[in-house]
Structure 1
Amino acid sequence: MNSKASNLIINLNEQLNFIDLEIDNIITKSEKAVDIILKSMTNLKKIVQKNKFKSDSEEILFFKEIKPQLTSKLIYYNMIYKIEMKRPNGGNRILKKYYHNELSKLKSFFDNELEFYQYYRSGSIYLDYKYFQRGKFDIKLALDSYYFEADTSFSTSHDFKVARILANDLIQLYLENQLVMIENKDGFEKSQRKPNIKLMWTGSKVALTELLYALHSEGTFNNGAVDLKDIAEYFEQIFEIDLGQYRRAFLEIRARKSDRTKFISSLNETLLKRMDNADDII
């Protein structure tokens, strides 16, 4: 069953990505997204109704990881629609206050659900049999009133809370991006103020070359419509560094007998360690 559900979510993500590319207006985009997600939610429910879970672990996996992926997107686009519909008319100061207030609402949810938030984020599983199996509700587990109105054949006591956590992450990112855009607009209006510091590349040229090829391979710049040479020259200009024969350096990187992506692997490891050790959750 879970494989069918996963394929449904993959198809949904493809549709949402298409909408994201084709529609610029966030309100229109959110309306269209909600409509598509609701149809996918109906199809997901049919899958659950027509099939039985093979084991308790499969049921827990579905309600802990699979269904929240879909529900979180519904919550996200619905909330973004509401936020933008209620956005006040006014200058940047008013908009910043409005978006900061919306961020505070997310913080309130985190504070109210701290115990479960810590359980979920820590990867704990000892209460999964109560949280993510149908009919296992316990009034002592701080149930939301919506649970008693939900379809218990398609809901558990905490799958919606997981979806809220995932959705809040996306909403927080959206709000922070809006604030950054406002700050950038303020900066532009202040005669395009230059950065107070100058960034210098202090890593090795080989590491920068490895990053250069990785970014070009991913098509990160200009939707992939840019030559490797142009990216290299841009790096050389902004960092005031001479990469020299970077194509030859890449051949040497490719010829490494072990860990050919040494710098990229190090970045991944360092970032994961930072995520694991992060204190500021929200």
Structure 2
Amino acid sequence: MKHSLEHIILEIHNKEDKILSQCKGIIDEAYEMTLYLQDLLFSIKKDIVDEGFKSDTEEIQFFRTIKPQILGKLIYYNKVYRIETNCPVNNGKMYYSYFSAHLANLKREYIEHICNTDFYRYYRSGRTDRDPVYFKRGNINYHDGLNSIVFEIDSEFSTFYDYKTARIIANELLYTYLLTKINPDENPDAISQKPGSSKDIFWTDSKNALVELTYALYASGVISHGKIGVRKISLMFQILFGITLGDLHHAFHRMKTRAGSRTAFLDQLKISLEEYMDKGL
């Protein structure tokens, strides 16, 4: 199968990095990623339907790990777009209440429909013994009283449980996103209040590069003897450069799983400094 998990994750991350580097707003980012992921899923579906799988192992891997990564991100970005475009105000108590209500709904949905299920416990425990049942096509057991969405799925491109896995992934991303929106330390008002003396100071690399630097400073404990949180370090940079970094944890997760060097920006910083030192020799 030409669509490996590593290749898909790298492809998605590269697209996210490209969009983030353009410093677009969250609505534009979510919209573009929704369209991109929808097209990616459609393209892969065509390949799967046309070519099939070489083995049961390949089929299980696809529906357990590869498709849920794409579909989970698609559900996430589509939800973010809907939330952001329906937001009544840009800040204040109504803004906080709006995102708090969405967080409460997400938690309620998680408790009622996800965390108490046998499948969720199976997936979270890392078990694989029932993978042939959950992640091979044609094994849907209607006696289990499954959600009615099962009647709408494409049996050639879904096992139903790949959708449930995607929902778990999407809910985790949404949870982090909503927490970030209601966190007082990341109030958009504070970020917009850039000191007048630093109006000519702005960040010219990608947002991901600044996230990488932020986490490096946090992990090394070099600011306030390591007693300051990563969000406050991030806020410091956001105020200084007049930039909004958004979902830190999401960006950091992408950083941990990207192909090649996970510290590409820091690696380049070292090279640049050494080259600058060599000029003075």
- Displacement of 1:61 in angstroms is 1.2
2:142 to 139, 142, 154: 139
Q: Which residue of 1 aligns with 2:38?
A: 38
Q: CA RMSD, aligned part only?
A: 3.2
Q: Distance in 2 between matches of 1:23 and 1:3?
A: 29
Runs of 4 or more consecutive aligned structure 1 residues displaced over 6 Å after TM superposition: none
Q: Distance in 1 between matches of 2:5 and 2:43?
A: 9
Residue aligned with 1:221, SS? helix
Could you give the per-residue CA deviations for residues 182-204 of structure 1, whole angstroms, max 9, x where no partner exists? Answer: 44549969xxxxxxxxxxxxxxx
2:182 to 179, 182, 187: 179
Q: Which residue of 2 aligns with 1:58?
A: 58
Aligned residues, how many?
Answer: 204
1:165 to 142, 145, 168: 168
- Displacement of 1:102 in angstroms is 1.0
Q: Indicate how the Cα distance of structure 1 residues 28 and 185 shifts in structure 2: closer, same or farther if over 3 A, else same.
A: closer
Q: Which residue of 2 aligns with 1:193?
A: none
Q: Which residue of 2 aligns with 1:125?
A: 128
Contact persistence 2:180–2:186 (CA under 8 A): no
Q: Indicate how the Cα distance of structure 1 residues 184 and 17 shifts in structure 2: closer, same or farther if over 3 A, else same.
A: closer
Q: Indicate how the Cα distance of structure 1 residues 183 and 3 shifts in structure 2: closer, same or farther if over 3 A, else same.
A: closer
Contact persistence 2:135–2:162 (CA under 8 A): yes
- List gaps (5 residues or longer) in structure 2: 192-209, 227-281
- List gaps (5 residues or longer) in structure 1: 190-217, 241-282
Contact persistence 1:137–1:156 (CA under 8 A): yes
Q: Distance in 2 between matches of 1:17 and 1:50?
A: 31
TM-score (norm 1): 0.63
- Higher-Rg structure is 1
Q: Which residue of 2 aligns with 1:238?
A: 224
Q: Indicate how the Cα distance of structure 1 residues 148 and 186 shifts in structure 2: closer, same or farther if over 3 A, else same.
A: closer
Q: Percent identity?
A: 32
- Displacement of 1:220 in angstroms is 3.3
Q: Distance in 2 between matches of 1:81 and 1:166?
A: 17
Residue identity in the other structure for 1:107? K
Q: Which residue of 1 aligns with 2:83?
A: 83
Residue aligned with 1:43, SS? helix
Contact persistence 2:72–2:170 (CA under 8 A): yes
- Displacement of 1:88 in angstroms is 2.0
- Is residue 2:8 matched to residue 1:22? no
Q: Distance in 2 between matches of 1:12 and 1:94?
A: 34
Q: Distance in 1 between matches of 2:212 and 2:6?
A: 27
Contact persistence 1:34–1:74 (CA under 8 A): yes
